Structure 1
Amino acid sequence: MKISVITAVFNRESTLASTIDSVASQLATEHEHILVDGMSTDGTADVIAANKPRIATSIREPDDGIYDALNKGIRAATGDVVGFLHADDLFYSREALRRISDTFSREKVDAVYGDLVYVDAANPDRVIRYWKSGHFDARRFRRGWMPPHPTVYVRKSVYEKFGMYLTDFGSAADYEWIVRLMVHQQIRVGYIPEILVKMRVGGESNATLKNRITANRDDRRAWTANGLKPPWGLRLTKPLSKLPQFLRGKSMFPQSMST
């Protein structure tokens, strides 16, 4: 099995090299790394050029945002399975892709996901939140649950059958895509009970109150666009479902939480 890892990047000169290192260091599975640069104006292009031997495909052209860039990466992917590692992020261990490959090979699934930790932007060893996903049950979506998007890996044939990201959903495009596949189309989903990704804190959807309100509106629209009735109280249950992540991070990673 070949896995395509896609990184969309814009002006991430300071972190991109570590992301490339993280993909290149993965053990014992065939994989390719695809970089999609939306015409960065800092030194990102130089970082990509310096790492050219470790990058299977590099695309540098204007885009209409991160999900447009991810769609370009999906089209360029030659792997059986496709996933993402953002330009600020790292795999938790060198075994992450092997765990993903083994799960696809062992179980009859169309997609897999795992756990994720949010880490300090300046110190990726300092855990802020621990997103322990838990086993898949589509009914949990109605209580505000979703799997962490950076840990979701899907067969490319699923994209070919059910489509890619809808860019008009803005920062909620990943949520709409997950609802479309896992709730509406009911693809077969497997869970890897391990941390797969370190994600640096931040993110456009949570950057401002206005962005969060817009994302909440688009979360509801993700259901109606797929002919589904939105869960009652989604704008409350979705953010509230994240609260245990902070407590779990402090209890399970006490040393990394110290200053």
Structure 2
Amino acid sequence: MQSGIGPRISVIVAVYNAEKYLEQCISSILSQSYGNFELIIIDGLSKDKSTSIIESYGTKVNYWVSEPDQGIYDAWNKGIAVATGSWFTFVGADDVLYEYAFESYINHILLHQNSHRLDFLSSYIELVTEELAPIRTIGSMWKWQEFKINMTTGHVGCFHARSLFETYGYFDSTYKISGDYELLLRAKENLKADFVPVATVRMRTGGVSASQLKKAIDETYRAKAKNNILPLWKARTLAVVDKVRIKFNI
């Protein structure tokens, strides 16, 4: 495929005090073999050199703003509101895309017999250390029966159609960890999903604190109750059970 021939991609990066890896992230986006994309950066009023790094790229960053926000999903919503693409991808400020990532997705879309109906695409994600040493590779075809139990995709290895947000709304910014899971639960088994069997990104993964894990459990079950996957009483009960299991390594 020639660079830039195909649907436009909106790449949305939420940033907060990300100076350590931000340049590496932006460089991996701007180095894509597929050129029809816009780069949108939403900074949460960073106190480090993040905004200086963003400014250094000039017009290569199509849109950016630095202002207080209510977390990553609020930042993503701001990006969606100004985006012009037909497909959206959300990249972490410390993630590194492979140069063929966008081309792999677009080729898959263009060859798909029902591309006009697709809502969501995922791919393989390589989990790595801070130094980009490999840990393991995750990713599989989205399946409702598995997804309604656990989050089986990582946001950085995914493409979201504009129509997904037009149909089901933006992210719920009251979530701080599991908002991407909650959004996809809204569609239930009606989500039109497919899988790109290629590793598209290296995702740095640090240790998850106990408090973060507990919050993720609470938000995951809240999302299930909100979308009528589980009754509220059962969701709350299972959240307590899961936290007890983690605490005592059961």
TM-score category of the 2 structures, normalised to the smaller one: 0.7 to 0.9
Select 2:126's aligned residue among 102, 113, 117.
117
Q: Secondary structure at the match of 1:170?
A: coil
Question: Hey, which bits of structure 1, 4+ residues long, moved more than 3 A?
Answer: 230-236
- Checking the alignment, whether the CA contact within 8 Å between 2:12 and 2:76 is kept in structure 1 is yes
1:191 aligns with 2:199: no
Query: Which residue does the alignment assign to 1:129?
Result: 136
Q: Which residue of 1 aligns with 2:103?
A: 98
Q: Which of 54, 59, 84 matches 1:78?
A: 84
The residue number in structure 1 matching 2:215 is: 214
Aligned counterparts, 1:146-225, within 5 A: 146-181=152-187, 183=188, 186-202=190-206, 206=208, 208-225=209-226
In structure 2, give the amino acid aligned to 1:223: K
Show the counterpart of 2:52: 46
Partner Cα separation in structure 2 for residue 54 and residue 74 of structure 1? 18
| CA shift digits 1:87-146 (9 cap, x unpaired) | 00011x21100111122222222210101111111x11x112221x22232111245351
Map 1:213-252 to 2 at 5 A. Answer: 213-229=214-230
Q: Are 1:29 and 1:101, in contact at CA under 8 Å, matched by a contact in 2? A: no
Distance 1:139 1:158 in 2: 20
Structure 2 gap ranges (5+): 1-6
Shift of 1:158: 1.4
Q: Distance in 1 between matches of 2:83 and 2:224?
A: 28
TM-score scaled by structure 2?
A: 0.85
Paired letter, 2:204 = R
Identity of aligned residues (%): 28
Q: Is the 8 A contact 1:103 1:112 kept in 2?
A: no
Residues 84 and 150, structure 1, Cα contact 8 Å, conserved in 2? yes
Query: Cα deviations across residues 180-211 of structure 1 (Å, max 9, x unaligned)?
Result: 23x26x221010011111111127xx3x2122
Cα distance between partner residues in 1 of 2:43 and 2:148: 36
Q: Residues 145 and 161 from structure 1, CA distance in 2 versus in 1: closer, same or farther, beyond 3 angstroms?
A: closer
Do the aligned residues in 2 keep the contact of 1:4 with 1:83 (CA within 8 Å)?
yes
**1:214 CA displacement:** 2.0
Give the whole-Å Cα distance in 1 for the aligned partners of 2:126 and 2:142. 18
Supply the RMSD in Å over aligned alpha carbons. 2.2
| Counterpart contact for 2:140–2:152, Cα < 8 Å | no
Q: Which residue of 1 aligns with 2:146?
A: 140
Give the whole-Å Cα distance in 1 for the aligned partners of 2:185 and 2:168: 12
- Tell me, in whole angstroms, the C-alpha distance in 2 between the residues paired with 1:52 and 1:178: 34
CA distance in 2, matches of 1:9, 1:158: 24
CA distance in structure 2 between the aligned counterparts of 1:137 and 1:212, rounded to whole angstroms:
24
Structure 1 contact 113–151 (Cα < 8 Å) conserved: yes
Tell me the amino acid that sits aligned with residue 169 of structure 1: Y
Question: Shift in Å at residue 157 of structure 1?
Answer: 2.0
The answer to whether residue 12 in structure 2 is matched with residue 3 in structure 1 is no
Q: Partners in 2 of 1:167 and 1:136 — Cα distance?
A: 24
Distance 2:58 2:125 in 1: 28
- Cα distance in 1 between the residues matched to 2:183 and 2:111: 25
Could you tell me which amino acid in structure 1 is paired with residue 223 of structure 2? Answer: A
Where does residue 30 of structure 1 map in the other structure? 36
SS in 2 for 1:59: strand
